[in-house]
Amino acid sequence: MFRKRKEVKFVFHKHLLLFLITILIPTLLLLSFQVYRIQHDAREQLENASHTYLDRSSRNLDILLDQMNQMVLQISLSPSVLDLLKHPFDQTAYDYAQTKEQLRSWTVINPLFHSLYLDILQNRKVLTTNEGIYDEADFYDIAFLQGLNTVNTNKSSSWIGLRSLPSEDGRGILTFARSVPPVQSTPLGVLVLNVQKDIFYNTWMNLQKEQAGPMILLDPEGRMISGPIQGLDAEKIADSLQAGTVKSDRRTIGDADFLVSAYKLPASGFVIIQLSPFAAYDKQVAAAFKQAALILLVVTAAGVGVSYYFAFMLYTPWKRLADRLKGFVFTGESRDPYTFVNYAIHDLLAVIRKNEPIVRYQLVHELLHDHRVESSDITIRFREAGIQFVYPNFVVLVMIDESLDHQGKIANQLLYLYSLAEDTFGLGIPSAGTILDRQKIGFIVNVEYEEMDEFQMARLEDVCRSIQQLARERIDATVSFCISSVYPLDQLHEGFEQVKRMIAYKAFMETDIYFSKPMDENVHYQYPAVYQKLIMNAILSTDRDAAESYITEMFDRYLENSVYPYPKLLQTILVLMSHVISSLVQEGFDIGPLMNEIDLLQLQHCQNRDELRQLLVSQTDHVILYLETLRRRDDDYGAIVHQAIAFIENHYAENISISDVASSLGISASYLSRLFKAEVGKRPQEYLTEYRLKISKTLLKDHRKTLQQIIEQIGYNDVHTYIRSFKKFEGTTPGEYRKRSMDHS
């Protein structure tokens, strides 16, 4: 009685746990979805509010900039300024003084203005509001004027940016420069208006009706107009922005979390960064978690009662089933109903497995792989497995699933093809088979004659064609066959070795059902040295059309209707490509990066001659593209960009920035960025990122290296940043890329 109660208790606990989990899992899923929805809505509200404030701030900034431009335009159109620009040599000292005072009046009445001066291009004079008139060569701000070549020569062109005045001990000034007068087809001068950056920033901030958080303003070149915020790299954020786009991210600054939203104005290029505190968002999410925990507690309490009821309801049928099975299954000990039924099922499966016809599969595998078995024993064991061979002669037939890597492949496709082939052979040809690997199925086929005559070949070909048609119609699969010569039963391993050699040279075969045939290994072989030289010359001259033409011509002559043995033909291709690589080394080229693109082992995976020819064309195209890249780099890049690229490629594994590259060259980061972009077509940071990712693609092929080890070798500090960069440039994640590389290898 005590033991039965213990069994009931054990079964009850299992049912109780089962139903409790059944109740709790949907509840957890629903609560998780609810919490996620609240998080998403709160985050969306915060982002919408931040974007709305950014939009209002950008419109206020556009208004302020338009007003500044209007004032500059109004000054440039005043009669005295126009007369001075058109007739500078006719002006007296008094006229210059009058114009100066008029310009000075603008700086006095407007607190935004710091200083204003006019560069007169005809007589090379500079009229200032504070110091008077200068010869252009003696002007203290001549370096800035010389940098405004575009403004000096283009009609109605302008420049806005933050800089330091030489006479102001490096104090930040926001400068508006414009070619004047706008009514002339050719500029006669440049009007420069300097505004104190702090006053400009405060004026812009005063236009905001409300402030959700700290605001940062940067000029079109990414220089800070507002004060910096500790822990936030505003310049880096500005450099990553595209004009007219908003970028938002959660960041921890100091002891608080902020939603950092940045926007680059499309018209002026100014960058606004808005920091919105996450405190309200976190409070809302915490309340959602507390509510979910309370609901989960209530559901758990109710679920215990419901599970208790269903546990007792389900126990009775299991007990009845166990009582009925006890008359047929002997376990040797008393067991609870669930354990007893489970034991009975396993016992039944074991009996079924003992009667499965698996002996023949093992025998075929042993025969093909030269496991020593006596012929008499083999015959007896085949007979016991239900197979009786009529003749003493056999061929080895290997069926290859060519569609193994195609998308849409059905589950267990190879097993289905095996069953399909076995049924087709069973219609009239004694055979036995086994699965060799993920792509190949092997059969030993009983044949009548000791030599493969036309009748036997035609009979086997008909069967193979039937299998091909059924495979294509039923599962859209493509299969091919390689068939050995005739061997006795105890020498079938030699036939299997013969078939394996045929598969290695499959690309040279003309049909998808190939019978072994003797080939004259002693035929005089002539290596295509002339084509080797022609192809190499075409590669060195980067002539793709000529290289492809020579490869096609060589294939037509040496492979189509060729009498050469297959090993000789494969050696020809390997020697040809090896010569190309060695010739590049002799020419002085660094082939290290090229070895990642050239893979001669792919030759063995080609299914036909066309794939082999296309592979050679593709490999030569990689070599030509590499040579073009080297030559274009040598021809196009200037000395500064060459040095910058060399610094990046030598220090990519370090935590370097573009400022480090620029410092090593003795130039500013902004100048390097503009020069690099103009010559290379991308910014230095993009080049550094792409170069690091290129190195990481090679490291990913080594499955022994973890992502953490890889990012440390290429200069990244954070795995998540590396994954985002990899997916942005490569269109896939590092894990997916590594998996594809391993599958391909």
For the stretch 666-703, pLDDT in tens is: 888 888 888 888 777 788 888 899 888 888 888 888 87
**pLDDT at residue 155 in the model:** 58
Q: Look at 81-85, 116-120, 197-201, 276-280 and tell me which has the smallest mean pLDDT.
A: 276-280
Please tell me whether the overall predicted TM-score, pTM, comes out greater than 0.95 for this model: no
What are residue 465's phi and psi, to 5 degrees? -65, -40
Mean pLDDT value of segment 648-669: 88
Rounded CA-CA distance 212/260 in Å is 12
Report d(CA 571, CA 633) in Å as an integer: 35
- At residue 522, does pLDDT exceed 60? no
Report the run of H or E that residue 560 belongs to, with start and end: none
pLDDT at 582 over 60: yes
Other C-beta atoms lying within 10 Å of the C-beta of residue 467: 21
> Which pLDDT does position 408 carry in this prediction?
42
Q: How far is CA 594 from the centre of its chain?
A: 20
> Cα torsion at 228, 229, 231, 235 (round to 10°)?
-40
| Residues whose CB is less than 8 angstroms from the CB of residue 611 and which lie 6 or more positions away in sequence, other chains included | 507
Calculate what percentage of the chain has a pLDDT beyond 90.
Answer: 0
CB neighbour burial string for 264-288, b if at least 16 within 10 angstroms, e if fewer: bbeebbbbbbbbbbbeebeebbeeb
Q: Which residue has the higher pLDDT, 127 or 282?
A: 127
Residue 378: which of 489, 245, 260 has the closest Cα?
489
Judged against a pLDDT cut of 50, whether residue 3 lies above it is answered with: no
Tell me what pLDDT residue 406 has.
45
Distance, CA of 186 to CA of 181 (rounded, Å): 9
Distance, CA of 703 to CA of 153 (rounded, Å): 59
The answer for residues whose C-beta is within 8 angstroms of residue 327's C-beta and 6 or more apart is none
Question: What is the mean predicted confidence (pLDDT) over 578-591?
Answer: 70
DSSP 224: B
Cα separation of 409 and 1, whole Å? 57
pLDDT number for residue 535 = 79
Whether the per-residue pLDDT at 662 is higher than 50: the answer is yes
Q: State the pLDDT at residue 279.
A: 74
**Segment 335-392, tens digit of pLDDT:** 666 676 776 676 655 544 444 445 566 778 777 877 665 655 677 777 776 677 888 8
Evaluate if residue 275 carries a pLDDT over 80: yes
Note the pLDDT of residue 154. 61
pLDDT confidence bin for 14, thresholds 50/70/90: low
Q: What is the CA radius of gyration of the chain?
A: 41
Do residues 443 and 433 make contact, with C-beta atoms less than 8 angstroms apart? yes
Asked whether the predicted pLDDT for residue 630 surpasses 70, the reply is no
Q: Report d(CA 235, CA 678) in Å as an integer.
A: 21
pLDDT for 562 equals 56
For residues 163-185, average pLDDT: 79
Q: How far apart are CA 194 and CA 140, in angstroms?
A: 14
Report the 10 Å Cβ neighbour count for 347: 14
C-alpha to C-alpha distance for 190 and 617, rounded to whole angstroms: 59
Lowest mean pLDDT among 241-250, 262-271, 374-383, 391-400: 374-383
Average pLDDT of the chain is 77
Polymer length in residues for the chain: 745
The most confident of the ranges 18-27, 525-534, 638-647 is 638-647
Mean pLDDT over residues 34-48, rounded? Answer: 79
Decide if pLDDT at 407 tops 50: no
Confidence of residue 8 (pLDDT cuts 50, 70, 90): very low
Check: CB of residue 33 under 8 Å from CB of residue 321: no
The tokens for 323 are 């009582």
pLDDT of residue 356: 43
Residue with the two structure tokens 């290859």: 400
Closest CA to 737 of 699, 708, 709: 699
CA distance 477 to 509: 20
